[in-house]
Amino acid sequence: MSQKEWEAVIQLVGLVLIVGWLMYDGLVGGFTEAGFAAVATRLVWAIVAMVVFNVVAMVLVMIGIGIVTRTGPTDEEADERDTSIGSRAMRNSGAVTASLAALSLLALAFGAPPIFAVYALFAAPVLGGATDAVSRLVYYRIG
Protein backbone atom coordinates (compact mmCIF):
# COMPACT_ATOMS: atom_id res chain seq x y z
CA MET A 1 0.00 0.00 0.00
CA SER A 2 1.16 3.50 -0.74
CA GLN A 3 1.48 6.27 1.79
CA LYS A 4 -1.70 7.88 0.47
CA GLU A 5 -3.63 4.64 1.01
CA TRP A 6 -2.24 4.35 4.53
CA GLU A 7 -3.41 7.90 5.25
CA ALA A 8 -6.94 6.97 4.18
CA VAL A 9 -6.93 3.79 6.27
CA ILE A 10 -5.70 5.64 9.35
CA GLN A 11 -8.33 8.33 8.84
CA LEU A 12 -11.07 5.68 8.73
CA VAL A 13 -9.76 3.84 11.80
CA GLY A 14 -9.59 7.11 13.73
CA LEU A 15 -13.09 8.00 12.64
CA VAL A 16 -14.46 4.65 13.81
CA LEU A 17 -12.72 4.98 17.18
CA ILE A 18 -13.85 8.56 17.79
CA VAL A 19 -17.43 7.99 16.66
CA GLY A 20 -17.53 4.86 18.82
CA TRP A 21 -16.33 6.92 21.79
CA LEU A 22 -18.95 9.59 21.09
CA MET A 23 -21.72 7.00 20.74
CA TYR A 24 -20.70 5.38 24.04
CA ASP A 25 -20.50 8.78 25.71
CA GLY A 26 -23.88 9.76 24.31
CA LEU A 27 -25.55 6.54 25.39
CA VAL A 28 -24.11 6.76 28.89
CA GLY A 29 -24.52 10.52 29.35
CA GLY A 30 -27.56 11.04 27.18
CA PHE A 31 -27.52 12.69 23.76
CA THR A 32 -29.94 15.46 24.56
CA GLU A 33 -29.67 15.82 28.33
CA ALA A 34 -26.58 17.99 28.14
CA GLY A 35 -26.77 21.61 27.08
CA PHE A 36 -25.47 23.10 23.87
CA ALA A 37 -22.17 24.13 25.41
CA ALA A 38 -21.51 20.67 26.85
CA VAL A 39 -22.29 18.93 23.58
CA ALA A 40 -20.24 21.41 21.54
CA THR A 41 -17.31 21.01 23.93
CA ARG A 42 -17.53 17.22 23.64
CA LEU A 43 -17.49 17.46 19.85
CA VAL A 44 -14.55 19.91 19.83
CA TRP A 45 -12.59 17.42 21.93
CA ALA A 46 -13.56 14.70 19.45
CA ILE A 47 -12.12 16.77 16.60
CA VAL A 48 -8.90 17.36 18.56
CA ALA A 49 -8.70 13.64 19.32
CA MET A 50 -9.15 12.79 15.61
CA VAL A 51 -6.35 15.13 14.58
CA VAL A 52 -3.97 13.85 17.26
CA PHE A 53 -4.80 10.23 16.46
CA ASN A 54 -4.21 10.75 12.73
CA VAL A 55 -0.83 12.40 13.29
CA VAL A 56 0.42 9.89 15.87
CA ALA A 57 -0.88 6.86 13.97
CA MET A 58 0.66 8.04 10.69
CA VAL A 59 4.04 8.56 12.35
CA LEU A 60 3.87 5.10 13.95
CA VAL A 61 2.82 3.44 10.70
CA MET A 62 5.64 5.12 8.78
CA ILE A 63 8.13 4.00 11.45
CA GLY A 64 6.71 0.47 11.28
CA ILE A 65 6.94 0.41 7.50
CA GLY A 66 10.51 1.69 7.73
CA ILE A 67 11.43 -1.08 10.16
CA VAL A 68 9.79 -3.81 8.08
CA THR A 69 11.12 -2.67 4.70
CA ARG A 70 14.42 -1.36 6.11
CA THR A 71 14.03 1.85 4.10
CA GLY A 72 13.03 5.33 5.08
CA PRO A 73 9.55 6.59 4.31
CA THR A 74 9.27 8.16 0.90
CA ASP A 75 6.57 10.48 -0.25
CA GLU A 76 5.92 9.88 -3.92
CA GLU A 77 5.44 12.79 -6.26
CA ALA A 78 1.78 13.29 -7.12
CA ASP A 79 1.14 12.29 -10.71
CA GLU A 80 -1.94 12.56 -12.94
CA ARG A 81 -3.50 9.50 -11.32
CA ASP A 82 -3.14 10.94 -7.82
CA THR A 83 -4.60 14.25 -8.94
CA SER A 84 -7.54 12.51 -10.61
CA ILE A 85 -8.21 10.31 -7.59
CA GLY A 86 -7.99 13.28 -5.25
CA SER A 87 -10.41 15.28 -7.39
CA ARG A 88 -12.97 12.47 -7.61
CA ALA A 89 -12.73 11.71 -3.89
CA MET A 90 -13.12 15.40 -3.05
CA ARG A 91 -16.16 15.63 -5.32
CA ASN A 92 -17.78 12.69 -3.51
CA SER A 93 -16.92 14.21 -0.15
CA GLY A 94 -18.39 17.57 -1.09
CA ALA A 95 -21.60 15.98 -2.32
CA VAL A 96 -22.05 14.04 0.93
CA THR A 97 -21.24 17.04 3.13
CA ALA A 98 -23.57 19.37 1.23
CA SER A 99 -26.38 16.82 1.16
CA LEU A 100 -26.16 16.13 4.87
CA ALA A 101 -26.02 19.83 5.69
CA ALA A 102 -29.13 20.44 3.55
CA LEU A 103 -30.94 17.51 5.16
CA SER A 104 -30.10 18.79 8.63
CA LEU A 105 -31.50 22.22 7.76
CA LEU A 106 -34.60 20.56 6.39
CA ALA A 107 -35.00 18.54 9.59
CA LEU A 108 -34.66 21.70 11.68
CA ALA A 109 -37.25 23.43 9.49
CA PHE A 110 -39.69 20.62 10.22
CA GLY A 111 -39.27 20.80 13.97
CA ALA A 112 -36.23 18.74 14.94
CA PRO A 113 -34.83 19.69 18.36
CA PRO A 114 -32.18 22.45 18.20
CA ILE A 115 -29.53 20.19 19.80
CA PHE A 116 -29.77 18.26 16.54
CA ALA A 117 -28.05 21.19 14.80
CA VAL A 118 -24.96 20.80 16.98
CA TYR A 119 -24.65 17.12 16.10
CA ALA A 120 -25.41 17.82 12.43
CA LEU A 121 -22.65 20.46 12.27
CA PHE A 122 -20.26 17.76 13.44
CA ALA A 123 -21.64 14.83 11.46
CA ALA A 124 -21.82 16.40 7.99
CA PRO A 125 -18.09 17.17 7.58
CA VAL A 126 -17.01 14.03 9.46
CA LEU A 127 -19.05 11.80 7.15
CA GLY A 128 -17.82 13.84 4.20
CA GLY A 129 -14.25 13.12 5.32
CA ALA A 130 -15.06 9.42 5.67
CA THR A 131 -16.46 9.48 2.14
CA ASP A 132 -13.23 11.07 0.92
CA ALA A 133 -11.10 8.38 2.59
CA VAL A 134 -13.25 5.50 1.33
CA SER A 135 -13.31 7.00 -2.16
CA ARG A 136 -9.53 7.30 -2.20
CA LEU A 137 -9.11 3.68 -1.16
CA VAL A 138 -11.59 2.48 -3.79
CA TYR A 139 -10.15 4.62 -6.57
CA TYR A 140 -6.58 3.58 -5.78
CA ARG A 141 -7.64 -0.07 -5.92
CA ILE A 142 -9.65 0.14 -9.16
CA GLY A 143 -7.42 2.71 -10.82
pLDDT of 37: 81
Statement: residue 97 has pLDDT above 90: yes
How confident is the model over 114-123, as a mean pLDDT? 84
How confident is the model over 19-39, as a mean pLDDT? 77
Statement: residue 72 has pLDDT above 70: no
Q: 79-108 burial, b for 16+ CB within 10 Å, e for fewer?
A: eeebeebbeebeebbeebbeebbeebeeee
Q: Is 79 helix (H, G, I), strand (E, B) or coil?
A: coil
More confident residue, 136 or 28: 136
How confident is the model over 99-121, as a mean pLDDT? 88
Q: What is the mean pLDDT of the chain?
A: 87
Q: Is 73 helix (H, G, I), strand (E, B) or coil?
A: coil
How confident is the model over 107-115, as a mean pLDDT? 86
pLDDT band of residue 74 (cuts 50, 70, 90) is: low
Q: Taking the model in full, what pTM does it have?
A: 0.81
Q: Packing angle between helix 115-142 and helix 80-109, nearest 10 degrees?
A: 160
- Share above pLDDT 70 across residues of the chain, in percent, rounded to a whole number: 92
